[in-house]
Structure 1
Amino acid sequence: MSKRALKTYLSQLSKSALEEQLLDLYNRFPEVKTYYDFVFNPKEEKLVQEAKAKISNEYFPLKRRRPKARRSVAQKYIKHFLKLGMEPHLIADVMCFNLEIAQTFEQERNVPDAFYKSMLNSFTELIQYTALQGLIPNFKERIVKIYTITQDKNWLYEEGFSKALDIID
């Protein structure tokens, strides 16, 4: 069904029928429930703290011995926050946190080459997102610190990190 056809259909419904359909969607689809829960009671800071705890647990687990160090966990939260329409500065904060915790992890462990490529992707996404949202001044210090560590520790793909940073200069 096209958006236009949906608009026509919805305009023909009575208020009570429309309310019924929305309640049905709310009950049937967890995504709709999540969306409305967020809209009416955002608790953004709480969601950010939960995300940071999960990301941290990926690299420094509390209950298991071996870290999984999956970038996908952070990406899942970032994508979810973008869908919800969360404040851009909070999303950028989670993006920075992901890179910072990964750098701490890298200092203590031997990591595969794919780890560096993954972090380059995260760094590039951070730069692009903060530039697009006009948040570079707010996050420049953290971004430069992340970049400096990649250079000081001779991370793979140093040139890629440099090219990504050129956007903000």
Structure 2
Amino acid sequence: MSKRALKKYLSELKQEELAEQLIDLYERFPVVKEYYDFVFNPKEDKLVQDAKVKISNEYFPVKRKRPKARRSVAQKFLKHFTKLGVEPQLVADVMLYNVEIAQAYSADKNVPEAFYKSMLNSFSEAVQYIALNEILPDFKIRIVRIFNTTQNQQWPNEEEFSRALDIID
């Protein structure tokens, strides 16, 4: 069904019928329920805190022995936050937190080359997102700290991290 056909169909419905359909969607689809729950009661801080705990658990697990160190966990949260319309400052905070926790993990571990490339991608995306949303003053200190940490830990791709910073200059 096209958007035009949907609009026509919805305009022909009575108020009560439209309300019944929305309630049906709310009950059937968890995504719709989650969206409306967020719209009417946006507990953004709780969402961000939950995301940070799960991201941290990827690198420093509480219940299992070995860390999984998957970037995809953070990416799923970030995509979800973007769909919900979470404030850009909070999204950027989680983006930078992901890189910071990964740096803490790599400080005392021998990690594969792919890990560094993955964190470069996360860092580049965060810097671009921050620049696009014009919130650089709020995060400049953290961005510089992340860059300095890559140099202190002698990451093999520290030059690429420098190029990622060129976006904000």
TM-score, with structure 1 as normaliser: 0.98
**CA separation in 2, counterparts of 1:51 and 1:42?**
15
Q: Within 5 Å, give how 1:75-114 maps onto structure 2.
A: 75-114=75-114
Q: Superposed, which structure 2 residues align to 1:22-101 within 5 Å?
A: 22-101=22-101
* Partners of 1:154 and 1:61 in 2: CA distance: 25
Letter in 1 for 2:121: N
Give the aligned partner of residue 117 of structure 2: 117
- Specify the code of the residue in structure 1 equivalent to 2:61: P
Matching residue's letter, 2:139: F
Greater Cα offset, 90-99 or 150-159: 150-159
Give the distance between the partners of 2:108 and 2:168, measured in 1 at CA.
30
For structure 2, the 5+ residue unaligned runs are: none
- State percent identity of aligned pairs: 69
Instruction: Report the CA distance between 1:162 and its aligned residue.
Output: 1.1
| Structure 1 gap segments, 5+ residues each | none
- 1:158: how far off? 1.8
**Which residue of structure 1 lines up, in the alignment, with residue 131 of structure 2?**
131
The amino acid of 1:82's aligned partner reads T
SS at match of 2:16: helix
The whole-number CA distance in structure 2 between the counterparts of 1:66 and 1:135 is 36
Cα distance in 2 for residues equivalent to 1:108 and 1:161 = 20
Query: Aligned partners of 1:136, 1:156: CA distance in 2, in Å?
Result: 26
Q: What displacement does 1:152 show?
A: 2.0
Q: For 2:159 and 2:6, locate their aligned partners in 1 and report how far apart those are by CA, in whole Å.
A: 49
The residue aligned with 2:148 is 148
**Which residue of the partner structure matches residue 163 of structure 1?**
163
The TM-score normalised by the length of structure 2 is 0.98
- Number of residue equivalences: 169
SS for the counterpart of 2:69 is coil
